[in-house]
A and B are shown apart, each in its own frame.
Chain A
Amino acid sequence: MLTCKRFLQELSDYLEERLDPETRAELQKHLNECPNCWVVCDTTKKTIKVFKGMQAQLLPSGVQMRLSEFLARNCKKKQEKSSLPAQSES
């Protein structure tokens, strides 16, 4: 008999479908028999899903502008440097 503790240990791999068919079948059997583990499994699945659906918010005001300025300032230096004829390819 598979224990709830063992079920929890395998839960991530179960949800990511990284288990061999035999272990997977054992876990599925446990799920059918154990309402607690079924709920934990279901709500863990939903937890992962709700985070995956989370979209990145807009950047706080000014951040984007300062990023552009920062990159314009610093990336330019690199371009100038890399266009120096003295640099060898080796």
Chain B
Amino acid sequence: MGTTTVTPGFDESALVARAKDGDSEAFSELVSHYDRRVFRMAKQITQNDDDAEDVLQESFLKAYTHLDNFQGNSKFYTWLVRIAVNEALMKLRKRRSDRTVPLDEPIDTGEDEMVREIAVWDENPEDTYSREELGTILDSAVQSLRPAYRTVFILRDIEELSIEETAQALNLSISAVKSRLLRARLQLREKLTRQFKRKGDNAYADL
């Protein structure tokens, strides 16, 4: 089951149209449909419950206030994610403003570091771990990425925005998104392989 699971009876564009006409119940329905995902994304970026909650509130308020600007060229959720990711990045910047490392630190080109663990996985991590355990493993793997990679990965591979939408949301070039995404995926692969590899099956690692 993916995150884009379709809820029966949930018609996003009809709800948006009603919300635009001032139907607050329709807007509430949109909120309760997406609040968990917005919170998750905000928490993954800010790494903090309180900041994530602020982001959640501010994002829906902004969405409500600017609903008339939503033209329907993209999905409402994509538009909402763009608002939320900006709010979350603002939080992060604010918190880091006294640090010397900028958020968009240049990407090192340690090509050689990209692949160390080469081992096949046990068939299906979903069968080996409970949903909670798996959630914890995946969360901590994402947390370990540097922010520049993490945000791209979250938008593309967790929230399932397209490469183009991710580039737009983060104000990055397509090629920057692609190279960060590749690094994020490979780094996560590395971490998850350490966790999920079939026992005693690391034969290629020393080659």
Residues of A in contact with B (beta carbons under 8 Å apart): 5, 8-9, 11-13, 16, 35-36, 39-40, 42-44, 46-48, 50-60, 63-64, 66-68, 70-71, 74-75, 78-79, 82
Contact = CB atoms under 8 A, between A and B. Distances in A.
B53 A63 contact: yes
Interface stretch (B74-82, B98-106, B178-186): B178-186
A13 B178 contact: yes
Interface of B: 1-3, 22, 24, 27-28, 31-32, 35-37, 39-40, 49, 53, 56-57, 60-61, 64-65, 111, 114-115, 118-121, 125-126, 131, 134-135, 138, 142, 153, 157-158, 160, 163, 178, 181-182, 185-186, 188-189, 192-193, 196, 204, 207
A31 B88 CA distance: 39
29 contacts: A8-B114, A8-B186, A11-B186, A12-B182, A13-B178, A16-B163, A35-B204, A36-B118, A42-B120, A46-B192, A48-B157, A48-B185, A50-B125, A50-B126, A51-B138, A51-B157, A53-B1, A53-B126, A54-B158, A57-B40, A59-B39, A64-B35, A66-B53, A66-B57, A68-B31, A71-B28, A74-B61, A75-B61, A79-B24
Q: Is the interface of A mostly helix, strand, loop or mixed?
A: helix
A7 B24 CA distance: 51
A35 B201 CA distance: 13
Contacts of A8: 111, 114-115, 182, 186
Contacts of B192: 43, 46-47, 50
Contacts of A78: 64-65
Contacts of B39: 56, 59, 63
Instruction: Rank and list the top 8 A-B pairs by shortest CB-CB distance, nearest first.
Output: A56-B36, A56-B40, A12-B182, A47-B189, A70-B57, A44-B189, A56-B37, A75-B64
Contacts of B49: 60
A63 B53 CA distance: 7
A52 B157 CA distance: 6
Nearest to B57: A70
Contacts of A52: 2-3, 157-158, 160
